[in-house]
Structure 1
Amino acid sequence: MRKTDKKIDNQLRNLLTQICEVALQEIQGYKWVSHKVNYARFPESLVITCTFEDLYSAENAEQQGILLNLIQQKLRAANIELNNVRKQVFFTSQ
């Protein structure tokens, strides 16, 4: 991993930790967030997965909207723009 990749990775981890902390407080059934990325194609390759305790919570459109907005806000504040947030953020259950 290149030095610039490590910097981006640390920034992403910090942002996702912030997102997770807010989501744990505000979104029913939310458990954790994870990500995958190919730094050679960042941010287009960034995939974020939000995990919930059950399928009902994961498929709740209102909760998905709240999380999508939160993710976009945090990433934009760090000058990271997702081309299509709905294709780069996924919702799943345990």
Structure 2
Amino acid sequence: MVAGNPPADITAANENSLKSLGRAIAFSQGQFSLVLVCCNYGILREQMLQRLQDEYLAGYQIHQVALPHNVINVYTAIHLQLTNNQPSALFVMQSQTCKAGESA
């Protein structure tokens, strides 16, 4: 939790971020859009992803990809997991644990 911010402020900020993310995904359908999101707490991330899917993106095909910590080429790792599937949104998890020096 951020020092100096009451829990109600943090909850409101999280809710606004969730709505903004849902709008960004919905408005970018049919075109490439890169949105980077960071969540410091695993349990909060899972809750927010579930709410995003249930409340804001219920009609969209969403795919989650978990990257192994030893991945060298992020593009290839994602491509291999997607096969021929082209989802409406792709959530790449654990990208902060990838090795530096990634090439496309």
Which of these two proteins has the greater Rg computed from alpha carbons?
A: 2
TM-score by length of 1: 0.36
Q: Which has the higher strand share?
A: 1
Q: Which has the higher helix share?
A: 1
